[in-house]
C-alpha cells in the first residue's frame, strides 16, 4: 500500500516544515536533506530496549498499540484512489462499500481505544488522565464530525465515497454550462462542513492544538508515557497514518477526490474547440494519475496539519469542550438543516431561487449563530469543577474561575 511509503515522508515533512516555520534547520544529516531521518528513527526505536513497567495491566498494555494502529490502517480502506480505467474497476484499497461514510466514522471512533487502553494500562495517573481526556474529546468531536459528513452525504445522496466523489464532478452550483466542477469545498455549506470536519479531524487524531491527551506540560507525555521502543513507535506510526488517512478521506469528500483540478475538461473542450487538444491531454492527465492527485491532496492536508500545529497554541480543556459542544455541534446541525433546505428548495423552485433562499437563510442563521456563540462565550462554564473530582474526589468545591493547578488538570 502506498500509504506506508508516504507515511515516513510525512514524518520528515513535518519535522522539516516545522523547523522551517520556526526558523530552524531541522534534520538534515541523514541522507539528502535528512530524507532518511525517519528510517533512522525507526531503526533506533526498533533496537531500543522494550521496557515493561512494573504493575501494568499486561494484557491491555500489550493490546493497546495494536488497537491504536488498527483503525489508522483500516480507515482509508474505502477511499477510491482512481476512477475506473478501462477494464479495471474503481481503485480502492479494499472495497467501495455502499456504507463507506459510516465505515469511516466507525473506524475513526474505534481509534480512541488504543489511547484509552494505553492510558489505563500504564498504571500511571498522568497517562490515565490522558486516556480520560482522549475518550471525552473523541465523544465530543465524533458528533460534529458525523454531522459534517452527513451534510455531504445529503448533498451527494449516497453513503458511498465513490458516489460522493462522482457527485463533485457535476457543474458548479448546479448551474448549466459551467465547466468548473462542483467540489464540496466550493459550496457555502460544503465549505462550512469542511471547516468543521477539519477541526474534528485534528481533534480525533490528537494533533495540536487538540493534543491534550499528550499535553507534555500537564501530563508528562500523556497516554504513552509508559511506552518505549517499538510500542511507542507503533503509536507514532498510528498517529501519522491516521493523519494521512483522514487526509485522503478529507480530499475525497471535500476536494473532489482523485480529480486533478476542479475543471471539467471535457465540457471545456466542447465549449471552445481551440483548446480541445490541451483539454484532451489534461483530461487524460488528471484521469490516469488519480492516485497521485489524491495523495497529493492528502499531503496538502497534512501540511495544513503541520501549519496549524506551528500556528496555534494548545487549548485549555474547557475551551476544548466549549468548542466541541457549543460551537461546532450547533454549527454542524444548523449546516445540516441548511443543506436539507437547499435540497428541497432547489427541487421545488429550481436552481436559482433555491440558491437564493438557501443563501438568505444561511446568512440569517449564521448571524443568529454568531450571536449565540458570543453569548455562550460571555458566560462562564464549570468544566473544571467536576474534572477536579476526576483527579481526586476529596477536592469537591472549586469554583469555575479558580485557576489552581488542580482546577486546570484535565
Partner 1 sequence: MNGVPLGGYLLLGLLMFAIGVLGVVLRRSPVVIFMCIELMLNAANLTFLSFARYLPSLRSDDPAMLSRQAVSGEMMVIFVMAIAAAEVAVGLGIIMAIFRLRDKVDVDDLNVLRG
Partner 2 sequence: MNLINPNFISFVILALIAVGASLGVVFCKNPVRSAICLVISFCVLAVLYFTLSAEMLGITQIVVYAGAIMVLFLFVVMLLTTANQESLNPKLDWRLILASLFAVGLIAVIGFRALLPFNQTITPRAPDGYGGPQELGMALFTRFGYPFEAISLLLMVGIVGSILLAKRRVR
Query: How far apart (Å, rounded) are the C-alpha atoms in residues 406 and 313?
Result: 21
Interface mask toward partner 2 for 258-277; x: CB under 8 A: --------------------
12, 61, 81, 113: which one contacts partner 2 (CB under 8 A)? 113
Query: How far apart (Å, rounded) are the C-alpha atoms in residues 339 and 343?
Result: 6
**Nearest-CA neighbor of 167 among 339, 338, 354?**
339
User: Taking CB under 8 A as the criterion, which residues in 40-59 touch partner 2?
Assistant: 57, 59
Taking the complex as a whole, the smallest distance from the CB of residue 399 to partner 2 amounts, in Å, to 8
Taking the complex as a whole, the smallest distance from the CB of residue 386 to partner 2 amounts, in Å, to 7
C-beta of 360 vs 389, nearer to partner 1:
389
333 makes contact with partner 2 (CB under 8 A): no
Output the DSSP codes for 299-313. HHHHHHHHHHHHHPP
Query: How far apart (Å, rounded) are the C-alpha atoms in residues 103 and 146?
Result: 11
Query: How far apart (Å, rounded) are the C-alpha atoms in residues 332 and 146?
Result: 9
98 binds, among partner 2, partner 1, none (CB under 5 to 8 A by kind): partner 2
Query: How far apart (Å, rounded) are the C-alpha atoms in residues 355 and 343?
Result: 9
Query: How far apart (Å, rounded) are the C-alpha atoms in residues 307 and 87?
Result: 41
C-beta of 132 vs 253, nearer to partner 2:
132
Helix/strand/coil percentages in the chain, nearest 5: 70, 0, 30
32 makes contact with partner 2 (CB under 8 A): no
C-beta of 179 vs 384, nearer to partner 2:
384
Taking the complex as a whole, the smallest distance from the CB of residue 57 to partner 2 amounts, in Å, to 7
Count of residues near partner 2 by CB under 8 A = 36
131 makes contact with partner 2 (CB under 8 A): yes
Taking the complex as a whole, the smallest distance from the CB of residue 390 to partner 1 amounts, in Å, to 10
CA 59 from chain center: how many Å?
Answer: 30
Query: How far apart (Å, rounded) are the C-alpha atoms in residues 383 and 71?
Result: 30
Interface mask toward partner 2 for 137-176; x: CB under 8 A: -xx--x----------------x-----------------
Residues 298 and 194 sit within 8 Å (Cβ to Cβ): no
User: Taking CB under 8 A as the criterion, which residues in 376-405 touch partner 1?
Assistant: 389, 393, 396
98 makes contact with partner 2 (CB under 8 A): yes
Residues 317 and 209 sit within 8 Å (Cβ to Cβ): no
72, 128, 336, 362: which one contacts partner 2 (CB under 8 A)? 128
61, 117, 232, 258: which one contacts partner 2 (CB under 8 A)? 117
381 binds, among partner 2, partner 1, none (CB under 5 to 8 A by kind): none
Taking the complex as a whole, the smallest distance from the CB of residue 405 to partner 2 amounts, in Å, to 17
Residue with cell 457549543: 326
- What is the greatest pairwise CA distance in the chain? 79
Using the contact rule CB under 8 A, the part of the chain among 114-122, 207-215, 331-339, 357-365 near partner 2 is: 114-122
398 makes contact with partner 2 (CB under 8 A): no
Q: Rounded to 5 degrees, what are φ and ψ at 171?
A: -60, 155
Q: Write the Ramachandran bin of 206: left for phi over 0, alpha for psi from -120 to 50, otherwise beta.
A: left
86, 177, 274, 393: which one contacts partner 2 (CB under 8 A)? 393
Using the contact rule CB under 8 A, the part of the chain among 123-131, 195-203, 360-368, 371-379 near partner 2 is: 123-131
Taking the complex as a whole, the smallest distance from the CB of residue 327 to partner 2 amounts, in Å, to 17
C-beta of 396 vs 404, nearer to partner 1:
396
Angle subtended at Cα 335 by Cα 133 and Cα 354, rounded to the nearest 5 degrees: 170
C-beta of 60 vs 263, nearer to partner 2:
60
What 3-state DSSP class applies to 131? helix
- Beta-carbon contacts of 67 under 8 Å, excluding residues fewer than 6 positions away, are 110, 113, 114, 117
DSSP class of 398: -
Euclidean distance between the first and final Cα of the chain, in Å? Answer: 38
State the Rg of the chain over Cα. 23
C-beta of 220 vs 390, nearer to partner 1:
390
Interface positions with partner 2 (CB under 8 A): 57, 59-60, 63, 97-99, 102-103, 105-106, 109-110, 112-113, 116-117, 119-120, 125, 128, 131-132, 135-136, 138-139, 142, 159, 382, 385-386, 390-393
Q: Which residues bind partner 1 (CB under 8 A)?
A: 389, 393, 396
Amino acid at each position: 500500500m502506498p500509504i506506508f511509503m508516504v507515511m515516513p515522508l510525512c514524518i520528515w515533512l513535518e519535522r522539516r516544515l516545522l523547523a522551517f516555520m520556526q526558523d530552524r534547520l531541522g534534520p538534515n544529516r541523514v541522507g539528502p536533506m535528512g530524507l532518511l531521518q525517519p528510517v533512522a528513527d525507526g531503526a533506533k526505536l526498533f533496537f531500543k530496549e522494550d521496557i515493561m513497567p512494573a504493575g501494568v495491566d499486561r494484557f491491555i498494555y500489550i493490546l493497546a498499540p495494536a488497537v491504536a494502529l488498527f483503525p489508522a490502517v483500516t480507515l482509508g480502506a474505502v477511499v477510491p484512489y482512481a476512477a475506473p480505467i478501462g477494464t479495471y474497476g474503481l481503485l480502492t484499497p479494499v472495497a467501495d462499500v455502499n456504507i463507506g461514510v459510516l465505515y469511516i466514522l466507525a473506524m475513526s471512533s474505534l481509534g480512541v481505544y488504543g489511547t484509552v487502553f494505553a492510558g489505563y494500562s500504564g498504571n500511571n495517573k498522568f497517562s490515565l488522565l490522558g486516556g480520560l481526556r482522549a475518550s471525552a474529546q473523541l465523544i465530543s468531536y465524533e458528533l460534529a464530525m458525523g454531522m459534517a459528513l452527513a451534510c455531504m452525504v445529503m448533498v451527494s445522496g449516497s453513503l458511498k465515497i465513490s458516489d460522493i466523489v462522482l457527485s463533485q464532478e457535476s457543474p458548479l452550483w448546479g448551474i448549466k454550462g459551467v465547466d468548473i466542477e462542483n467540489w464540496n469545498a466550493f459550496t457555502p455549506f460544503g465549505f462550512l462542513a469542511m471547516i468543521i470536519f477539519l477541526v474534528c479531524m485534528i481533534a480525533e487524531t490528537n494533533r495540536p492544538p487538540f493534543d491534550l491527551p499528550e499535553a507534555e506540560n500537564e501530563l508528562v507525555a500523556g497516554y504513552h508515557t509508559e511506552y518505549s521502543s517499538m510500542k511507542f513507535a507503533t503509536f507514532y506510526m498510528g498517529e501519522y497514518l491516521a493523519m494521512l488517512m483522514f487526509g485522503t478521506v478529507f480530499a475525497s469528500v471535500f476536494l473532489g477526490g482523485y480529480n486533478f483540478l476542479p475543471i471539467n475538461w471535457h465540457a471545456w473542450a466542447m465549449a471552445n474547440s481551440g483548446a480541445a487538444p490541451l483539454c484532451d491531454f489534461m483530461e487524460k492527465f488528471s484521469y490516469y494519475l488519480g492516485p497521485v492527485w489524491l495523495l497529493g491532496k492528502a499531503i496538502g492536508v497534512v501540511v495544513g496539519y503541520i501549519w496549524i500545529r506551528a500556528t496555534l497554541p494548545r487549548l485549555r480543556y474547557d475551551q476544548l469542550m466549549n468548542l466541541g459542544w457549543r460551537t461546532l455541534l450547533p454549527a454542524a446541525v444548523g449546516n445540516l438543516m441548511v443543506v436539507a433546505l437547499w435540497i428541497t428548495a432547489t427541487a421545488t423552485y429550481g436552481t436559482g431561487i433555491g440558491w437564493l433562499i438557501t443563501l438568505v437563510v444561511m446568512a440569517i442563521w449564521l448571524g443568529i449563530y454568531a450571536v449565540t456563540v458570543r453569548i455562550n462565550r460571555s458566560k462562564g462554564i464549570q468544566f473544571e469543577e467536576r474534572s477536579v473530582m476526576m483527579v481526586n474526589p476529596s477536592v469537591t468545591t472549586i469554583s469555575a474561575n479558580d485557576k489552581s493547578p488542580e482546577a486546570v488538570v484535565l
